[in-house]
Structure 1
């Protein structure tokens, strides 16, 4: 049976779709030489995409517009945005590759854990720790994307990197937390 378009084309789902597009646009702007203008545009794109993560979730809950498609696509859009920023910042020298690797590996593992749990009929909602991790990721990555010299904060990149390291700790911690909470799924025969 075909789903009605109104169940697919909801405001939160459209916002999530826009986040995917913004991630692609962010990648394009991070490819170019990072002049002040280009970096500022990349930063604005990143901030809009990061804020849209909060907006679509708030709207979906507030107006009971939660859909199966949204439950699938929203976390994927978040991962695509963070992955884009992480990977594109490596060649700029603003982010060590190993940090991006650990964060991306955790995301893959947790996505796999959620998939296994889902196949066992267990729905795994985002935890408070996971949301805190995302907030630190967004703040740290935003600071690393922001152009130097625009604000009178000479250590902006160091601050951004420090926040990303906090996000890294939260990333590993929340990954272990997901594994611990789902351990019974893996202990079943």
Structure 2
């Protein structure tokens, strides 16, 4: 297994540790929780950067990276709801969007094309990280708590806008005329099994 995929798996393993720290609320849990969360979020940037720089992009990594992102953000938001630090209805919208868009991207990949992350999608992820961080630290500062709520509302808005973009691009690709092939992302080819009589293993 290459380094980028190892970092992605590390991000997944940090999720339960983060949840335990947040829900137990032992002394200085806010700072420890934020440190774990930001370390996990940093691996999201590192795995993609290393994969592109070393040309270690794999079909497994293409699939696993967004799943790890959704697990991290979703678990953090759900923990914040359990701790009564975030409104449940906003979190339901954000997490529900993540599940639906992840499923849509996987369907697109199976159909032979890839839905790239949009600029709004990238901004959404950054705002989500900011919202989660400030909501956790909001236990120590009312100003940070208010800032966290504002970031949470912005994250919800960006989540809905980017979801619309994904659905629109998906249907454009699916509805491509029969006389021309859908626009394919180069990475989508990595998800295809090799052609010919070469034996493959699942």
* TM-score, normalization by structure 2: 0.82
2:4 is the counterpart of 1:20:
no
Match of 1:80 in 2: 71
Match of 2:196 in 1: none
Q: Which residue, 16, 37, 42 being the options, matches 1:51?
A: 42
Match of 1:129 in 2: 120
Match of 1:170 in 2: 158
Match of 2:130 in 1: 139
For residue 58 of structure 1, report the CA deviation from its aligned partner. 0.9
Match of 1:70 in 2: 61
Structure 2 stretches of 5 or more lacking a match?
Answer: 179-202
CA distance in 2, matches of 1:79, 1:138: 12
CA distance in 2, matches of 1:126, 1:111: 11
2:151 is the counterpart of 1:159:
no
Q: Which has the larger radius of gyration?
A: 2
CA distance in 1, matches of 2:105, 2:43: 23
Structure 1 stretches of 5 or more lacking a match?
Answer: 1-8
For residue 60 of structure 1, report the CA deviation from its aligned partner. 0.9
CA distance in 2, matches of 1:76, 1:157: 28
Match of 2:182 in 1: none
Spell out, residue by residue over 1:68-114, the C-alpha distance to the aligned partner (whole angstroms, 9 max, x if none).
11111111110000011010000221100001100111112112221
The question of whether the paired residues in 1 share the 8 Å contact of 2:50 and 2:56 is answered with: yes
Spell out, residue by residue over 1:24-58, the C-alpha distance to the aligned partner (whole angstroms, 9 max, x if none).
100111121x3551121111100101111111111
* TM-score, normalization by structure 1: 0.87
CA distance in 1, matches of 2:125, 2:17: 20
CA distance in 2, matches of 1:148, 1:31: 13
Total equivalences in the alignment: 177
CA distance in 2, matches of 1:147, 1:174: 27
